[in-house]
Amino acid sequence: MSEAAVDDLVTGVLDGEHRALARTITTIENQEPGYRDLVSALHAHTGDAEVVGVTGSPGAGKSTLVDKLAKRYRDDGLTVGVIAVDPSSPYTGGAVLGDRIRMASNVGDMDVFFRSMSARGQLGGLSTATGDAITALDAFGKDRIVVETVGAGQNEVDVVRTADTVVVLVQPGSGDDVQMLKAGILEIGDVFVVNKADMDGAATTVSDLREMLHLREGSTTGAAGHHGLGSMADGEDADDGDDGEGWDPRIVETVATEGEGVDDLIGVLDDHYAHLRETGELARRERTRYAEKIRQLLRSDAAALLEEELERHGGIDALVDEVQAREADPYTVADRIVDPLADCVEGRRE
């Protein structure tokens, strides 16, 4: 992509052109030439959107809840961007659920931008492009951005790196959901939603969640969960959720298909964001995300350079042949590949 084409897309996104936004996200997702320049140019225009991550096991009703959330935000006059990260096709790499009927309540509303993206095999269901797509939506001027993930269990912690608030959905009467929470996803939640609360077993699920949150409190010493926040509470029975430092995860019951409990969820999301802003945690989470992004890019770029150097030395098979024949050892081979790159870095320092 030429510099002029990048400039045109940036101008279009900042001017609120939906066609430019769609093209920008496609460029990002496909990592077309110039996509990094595109994201770099948009970065200075970000920082205003609130980002909500919605995760949970398949069948918990994530898509329906996200649809109702978007509708409720629109009722309040807010613009919304939704990124639905779907499983990848093993053949094309594309999103296999991308053509399913979603966001039914918002069809035809130009102020709700929906995009289904492929997870591309990434653990946690988040493609490396998701964070950059959020940058595009933020620069475009969306007030709320919702990221709905695949629901890959414990590895879903990746969503934490892209969201200000993490919502974990649990379905009543599902032993698998409870085991999922025990396996590690419990630690990432700021808000827990027991969806389909009109089903049998909903009260038991709420009780189980409260118990596990208390256990999580007991297993920490002043810093709970992935956010390094404070003590836990019983959701509805807790106080305002702010002990001066930490956030007490809330439990909200919803029936997404009927829109029940969505107003309560919006209220809790607003409370959490206000807490993040007032305590400085919002800025700390942003720093953590940027630090991880920089490391991620460095690892990716360094790996690409090493692959090129590997091929210059005849490829991995030739090097393995040397090691297997005892003509070299793995450490010597690694040094041989890395040394030219290290020399270049050293030369730049001088």
* pLDDT for the residue numbered 278: 96
Classify residue 13: in a domain, yes or no: no
123/218 same-domain check: yes
For residue 21, being part of any structural domain is answered with no
Query: Based on the domain organization, do 228 and 143 belong to the same domain?
Result: yes
Question: Both 326 and 258 in a single domain?
Answer: no
Span 241-265, pLDDT tens digits = 444 358 989 999 999 999 999 999 9
Nearest to 13 by CA among 163, 136, 96, 192: 136
Report the side by side order of strands in the sheet with 112-118. Answer: 112-118, 80-86, 144-148, 50-56, 165-170, 191-194, 250-253
153 and 182 in a single domain? The answer is yes
Is 32 within the bounds of a domain?
Answer: no
The pLDDT assigned to 219 comes to: 60
Q: Are residues 145 and 256 in the same domain?
A: yes
Domain that holds residue 130: 46-278
**1 in a structural domain:** no
Considering the domain architecture, whether residues 261 and 310 belong to the same structural domain is answered as no
Same-domain pairing of 312 and 226: no
Q: Is residue 203 part of a domain?
A: yes
Asked if 51 and 135 touch (Cβ cutoff 8 Å), the reply is: no
Pair (222, 321) in one structural domain = no
Both 213 and 264 in one domain: the answer is yes
Count the Cβ atoms, other than its own, within 10 Å of residue 343.
Answer: 10
Residue 255 within a domain:
yes
For 307-327, the pLDDT digits (tens) are: 999 999 999 999 999 999 999
Domain assignment of residue 36, yes or no = no
Which pLDDT score is estimated for 204?
Answer: 86
Q: Is residue 30 assigned to a domain?
A: no
CA-wise closest residue to 151 among 38, 213, 61: 61
Measure the CA–CA gap between 223 and 265, rounded to whole angstroms. Answer: 25
- The answer to whether residues 55 and 129 belong to one domain is yes
Contact assessment for residue 144 and residue 79, using Cβ atoms and an 8 Å cutoff: yes
How far apart, in whole angstroms, are the C-alpha atoms of residue 142 and residue 269? 17
Q: Say yes or no: 51 and 199 in one domain.
A: yes
Domain of 87: which CATH number? Answer: 3.40.50.300
My answer on whether 70 and 194 are in the same domain is yes
Number of domains in the chain: 2
Instruction: Please identify every stretch of the chain with a pLDDT value under 70, giving residue numbers as ranges.
Output: 87-105, 107-108, 119-127, 151-157, 159-160, 174-184, 217-245
How buried is residue 242: exposed, middle or buried, by Cβ count under 10 Å (0-12/13-18/19+)?
middle
